[in-house]
Amino acid sequence: MKLPNAIVLLIIGAAMMALIFLVYQTVEAERSQRQQSGRTAELIEELKRVETAALNGETGQRGYLITLDRRYLEPYQAGREQIDPALRRVRDLLGDDVTARQEELLDQISMLSKAKFSELENTVVLLEDGQLLEARRAILSDQGQETMERLRRALDEMEDIERELLSSQVQDTARLEGRVLPLLAALIALLVIAIYFGSRLVSRAARAEAEAAQAAAVGEARDRADLLARELNHRVKNLFAVVLAIIQMSARDKPEAKPVTDAISERVRALLTAHEVSQGALDRELASLEALVETTLAPYRSQTQPAQIDGPEVLLPAKRITPLGLVLHELTTNAVKYGAWAHGGGIDVSWKWVGDAVELVWSEGGAEIEGEPDRKGFGSLLMESAARQFGGSVERDFTPTGLTVRITLPQVERSTSLATTEQGQ
């Protein structure tokens, strides 16, 4: 079901992007229309100024010819001054978007304007020289009238082209605007569909997360139950072996019955306490990490088997006491059988805060180790399974001088008081 949902959402997203693009095109078309309307109005006005300048020049010429009064030359002078700026403004308004025909017409208008004012200037010069007949003959030749007619036709065609461009722009904008409301309706419909499918996906994801959490809890419980069953069998065998070893060692070192009995009783009680901690028999919500380490080491700790403990006060949740106790107990028994205590060495256990997690280091010294074992025994599997239960990690490093183990405990309770450092006795 994930692939169809993803395809539907992809289609909806693509449609929404297409609709947004079309709306953007409509807005841009309206903006272009406004710009085109403004340019067309200004361009037509400048074309009118070109025509007006030519007419003013011709009016001034005719008035001067009839009256020979230079005051009548004022329209001619004004038109002569207006024609070139008007042509420049027309060219600037056309800009880079000018069509090929508009370019031709603009060159033609410029040429005809110069020709017209050249003809007017020639007539004025003849009148100023007193050649009245020559001036009248030049006017009656119809050359100026023909130039003026051609100029008017070019200006009219330029205006018609500009109006056609504006009309085409208006039609395009109207066509795009006609799609705005349907597009908005379609966009709203797609948004409703997207919200519906999104809510379905969120609901499905929530159910999947709940099912995954439930499955993880069931798996963790099954793993814990299996681990405890295997450890119980393993621990019972080890307890009998340890009790026999203590009895034999006490009988050999101290022949007096009572001291031997007291020593055996004391060690057995400490062993039972460690066993209760590792089996989770202590009915407490939180337990001290220092107390757990002390309890685990107590049955074997002596002057010949020293251990040093150091670290801040850390409170462990009840669900982490058992797996961590199993790891510590396994390390302790291995140290007695094969590690530092079996070779006259010592153990150093320390921990510190690293962010919200606690890093515990178990370090053994005085025991030569050739290297990491070739295969994993039950103890290695036990520690890996326990690490998964308390949500941390157990890393072992077999160095030439002894074993170093790093245990990471994430998100445990902080305490401001520090644990006391005790030397092994």
Residues 108-124: pLDDT tens digits? 888 988 888 888 888 88
Query: Which pLDDT does position 259 carry in this prediction?
Result: 54
Query: Which pLDDT does position 424 carry in this prediction?
Result: 40
Residue 99 has pLDDT above 70, yes or no: yes
Query: Which pLDDT does position 347 carry in this prediction?
Result: 93
Poorest-pLDDT segment among 32-41, 204-213, 259-268, 393-402:
259-268
Most confident of 68-72, 94-98, 270-274, 306-310: 306-310
If you average pLDDT over every residue of the chain, what do you get? 77
* DSSP 8-state symbol, 96: G
Query: Which pLDDT does position 417 carry in this prediction?
Result: 40
Query: Which pLDDT does position 110 carry in this prediction?
Result: 87
- What would you measure as the largest C-alpha separation in the chain, in angstroms? 164
Query: Which pLDDT does position 405 carry in this prediction?
Result: 92
Residue 275 has pLDDT above 50, yes or no: yes
Poorest-pLDDT segment among 196-200, 351-355, 379-383:
196-200
> CA nearest 170: which of 367, 339, 37?
37
Query: Which pLDDT does position 188 carry in this prediction?
Result: 77
Query: Which pLDDT does position 420 carry in this prediction?
Result: 37
Query: Which pLDDT does position 271 carry in this prediction?
Result: 53
Q: Stretch 312-333: mean pLDDT, rounded?
A: 82
| Structure confidence by residue, pLDDT tens digits, 35-74 | 777 778 888 888 888 889 888 888 888 888 888 888 888 8
Residue 220 pairs in a beta bridge with: none
| Structure confidence by residue, pLDDT tens digits, 129-139 | 888 888 888 77
* Beta carbons within 10 angstroms of residue 111's beta carbon: 14
Q: Stretch 75-91: mean pLDDT, rounded?
A: 87
| Structure confidence by residue, pLDDT tens digits, 368-386 | 766 666 666 777 787 888 8
Query: Which pLDDT does position 407 carry in this prediction?
Result: 93
| Structure confidence by residue, pLDDT tens digits, 244-270 | 566 656 555 666 655 555 546 545 554
Query: Which pLDDT does position 380 carry in this prediction?
Result: 77
Query: Which pLDDT does position 336 carry in this prediction?
Result: 87
Report yes or no: 351 and 358 within 8 Å, Cβ to Cβ: yes
Query: Which pLDDT does position 161 carry in this prediction?
Result: 87
Query: Which pLDDT does position 282 carry in this prediction?
Result: 44
Percentage of the chain exceeding pLDDT 70: 72
Query: Which pLDDT does position 225 carry in this prediction?
Result: 57
* DSSP 8-state symbol, 393: E
Q: Stretch 311-325: mean pLDDT, rounded?
A: 81
Query: Which pLDDT does position 306 carry in this prediction?
Result: 92
> CA nearest 54: which of 118, 128, 107?
118
* Beta carbons within 10 angstroms of residue 60's beta carbon: 23
| Structure confidence by residue, pLDDT tens digits, 229-240 | 466 555 655 664
Residue 337 has pLDDT above 70, yes or no: yes
Q: Stretch 301-327: mean pLDDT, rounded?
A: 85
Query: Which pLDDT does position 43 carry in this prediction?
Result: 84
Residue 154 has pLDDT above 60, yes or no: yes
116 exposure class (CB count in 10 Å sphere: 0-12, 13-18, 19+): buried
Query: Which pLDDT does position 419 carry in this prediction?
Result: 39
Q: Is pTM, for the whole model, over 0.75? A: no
* pLDDT level of residue 211 (50, 70, 90 thresholds): confident
CA distance 232 to 211: 31
Q: Which two tokens stand for residue 2?
A: 């994930």
Helices (H), 367-418: 378-389
Query: Which pLDDT does position 255 carry in this prediction?
Result: 62
* pLDDT level of residue 418 (50, 70, 90 thresholds): very low
Q: Judging by DSSP bridges, how do beta strands 307-310 and 346-354 pair with one another? A: parallel
